[in-house]
Amino acid sequence: MKGPLRVHYDEEGDLLEIAIGEPTDCYAEEIQPGVFLRIDEKTNEVKSIGIVSFKKRTKSLEDIKVDLPIEMGFSALPA
């Protein structure tokens, strides 16, 4: 997948979102409690991952390394 990589953290909502490519119409799927994928409606490509309660899941916001509860690649999901 080509396109810009965007990382956004909403401190008030304690939500981290990592997105790649241009925004498209997507649906969300919760794959683990508080971990959501946004998936393109037409191509089934994973467009972003959102992590709720991000600050609680990390030691500090200076520590960027986060062990996600899934293995993930930015590619198309099976139809």
pLDDT beyond 90 at 73: no
36 lies in some domain: yes
pLDDT of residue 62: 63
Over residues 5-15, mean pLDDT: 90
Q: What domain range includes position 47?
A: 5-57
79, pLDDT greater than 60: no
Q: Give one DSSP letter per residue of the chain, joined into a string.
A: --S-EEEEEETTTTEEEEEESS---EEEEEEETTEEEEEETTT-BEEEEEEETHHHHSS-TT------SS---SSBPP-
What pLDDT, on a 0 to 100 scale, did the predictor assign at position 68? Answer: 52
76 inside domain? no
Is the pTM higher than 0.75? The answer reads no
Give me the residue label for tokens 């490509």: 45
Model pLDDT for residues 19-64, shown as the tens digit of each residue: 988 889 999 999 989 999 999 999 998 899 999 998 887 766 665 5
Is 73 within the bounds of a domain?
Answer: no
Is residue 77 situated within a structural domain? Answer: no
Q: How many domains does the chain have?
A: 1
66 in any annotated domain:
no
